[in-house]
Every structure is written in structure tokens, then in C-alpha cells.
Amino acid sequence: MGYFAKSSAGIDLDRLQEYLNARSINAYLDSVREAGERAAGIVRSMLDFSRTGASRREMCDVNEILDEVLKIALLDYDMKKKYDIIDARIIKKYDFLGARGMFVRSELTQMFLNIIKNAVQAMAENNSDGKIPQIILSTKGTPETVIIEIADNGPGIPEEKRSIIFEPFYTTKDPGVGTGLGLFIAYYIVTAHHNGSITVTDNDGTGTKFIIELKKE
């Protein structure tokens, strides 16, 4: 330009920018901003979750909710950016007669989405052998419960960590990638709001299987 822009304070803004860049101050400021946005996101998630306690139960078909979650997952920006479910083989083993009960639809949607997103991410990050990612969704109705299994062929969860994966803020993801709240919220929805149970095991020797049991009433 041949000259330096001046601020109202008499500072050469171009030189100031050079100074900030040379000392990576802008990068530090970006990190602070991103951390603040993540913190705000956590607060929003917790506030949204706390409001669901007042949600009303209604007669729901769990199979329909799972299908809706798959549609949401295909449109999810974060998943589409790094962990695309479109590359996964989805196998459905639905009980079309007994998978209905009095549930809070929005809570089950959130719970299933959290588990499926975790599965897709784990398979994408640990797919060194090039095998096709696979998710199996199974439902089974009993007179009093609906049992849902969500199984993947990913790296699995070591047995010693299965007892802590539902704890709040526990995560195996890199800093800035996950909040550690997804499985905690899923656990709370199942146990506290639906008087059910959720457990995790290996999927026939490979991958991970979540087993969710929901009381129909």
C-alpha cells in the first residue's frame, strides 16, 4: 500500500496485525473463542435436557423412532463432516408387533442419536483394515418392555472401561471433538425417565453392542 492504516488511537493497524500473527496471538484468541463456544454448547445441551423432564409420554413405535434417527443422522452436519453414516451398512431386525409403548418420543430420539453417532465415529476413526462399517438395529417386545440392541463392528470398548463410559464428561475423543455428555444423557434418559436399563458389551467378539430395555408404561 505504501502507507499504514491508522486507528483512532494512532496505532498502525497493519503493523499490529503483523505483530499478532508473528506471535500466534490470533491463533490463541481463536482457541479461546472455540472453547467458549464449546462451553456454551454444553450449557445449552444441559438446559435443553433439563426441560425434557416435563415432556409427556405418548404411545410410540420404537421402530419408527429409530428410522427417524437414521434420517437425522444423515443430515447431521458434524457427522457428515467427519463421520459419515452414509458409508455404513445398516441392518434392521425389527419386531413389528411388540415394539410399542408409552415413551417420550423426543428423549428416545436424542438417546438413540447419541449412541449411533458414537458408533459411527468409532468405526470411522478405527477403520484401518478397510472393512465396511456396519450397524445392526434390533428390537424385541415383551409384555412389559421393549428391548433395543444397537451393535457395530468397530473397535469395541475395553471391558475395564465399560463401567465408566456413562459417567458425565468421560470421553475418549480428542480435545474439542466431544463433550463426554452423549452417553451420560442417554443413560439418564433410559434409567431416570423411563425406568429402564442400558448396558454395553462386545458384539459377538468384535465391535460394541448397547442393550436398552424400556418399560412400556
pLDDT digits 0-9 by tens, 122-134: 887 766 567 788 9
- Interval 129-149 mean pLDDT: 92
Same domain, 50 and 63: no
pLDDT at 79 over 90: no
Same domain, 37 and 79: no
pLDDT tier for residue 211 given thresholds of 50, 70 and 90: very high
pLDDT at 1 over 70: no
Q: How far is CA 123 from CA 54, 140, 169, in A?
A: 35, 25, 21
pLDDT at 62 over 70: yes
Q: Looking at residue 10, what is its pLDDT?
A: 67
* Highest mean pLDDT pick, 1-15, 75-89, 162-176, 201-215: 201-215
pLDDT at 112 over 90: yes
Q: Looking at residue 176, what is its pLDDT?
A: 46
- Interval 172-180 mean pLDDT: 52
126 vs 156: CA distance, rounded Å: 10
Q: Which phi-psi region, left, alpha or beta, contains residue 188 (left: φ > 0; alpha: ψ -120 to 50)?
A: alpha
Same domain, 172 and 185: yes
Same domain, 150 and 43: no
Q: Can you state the percent helix, strand and coil of the chain, rounding each to 5?
A: 45, 20, 35
127 vs 82: CA distance, rounded Å: 13
The parent domain of residue 48 ranges over 1-54
Q: Looking at residue 2, what is its pLDDT?
A: 46
pLDDT tier for residue 15 given thresholds of 50, 70 and 90: confident
Q: Which residues does 1 contact at the CB level (< 8 Å), separation at least 6?
A: 14
Same domain, 121 and 206: yes
Quote the number of domains for the chain.
Answer: 2
Same domain, 119 and 182: yes
Domain boundary among the residues 38, 54, 70 is at 54
Query: Which comes out higher in pLDDT, residue 105 or 56?
Result: 105
Query: Which comes out higher in pLDDT, residue 115 or 121?
Result: 115
The pairs formed by 190-193 with CB atoms below 8 angstroms and a separation of 24 or more are 190/111, 190/214, 193/52, 193/53, 193/104, 193/107
Domain boundary among the residues 34, 54, 74 is at 54
Phi, psi at 36, each rounded to 5°: -65, -40
pLDDT at 4 over 60: no
SS3 171: coil
- Interval 135-145 mean pLDDT: 96
- Interval 91-96 mean pLDDT: 96
pLDDT tier for residue 80 given thresholds of 50, 70 and 90: very low
Q: Looking at residue 123, what is its pLDDT?
A: 83
Same domain, 104 and 149: yes
Same domain, 42 and 97: no
Same domain, 16 and 95: no
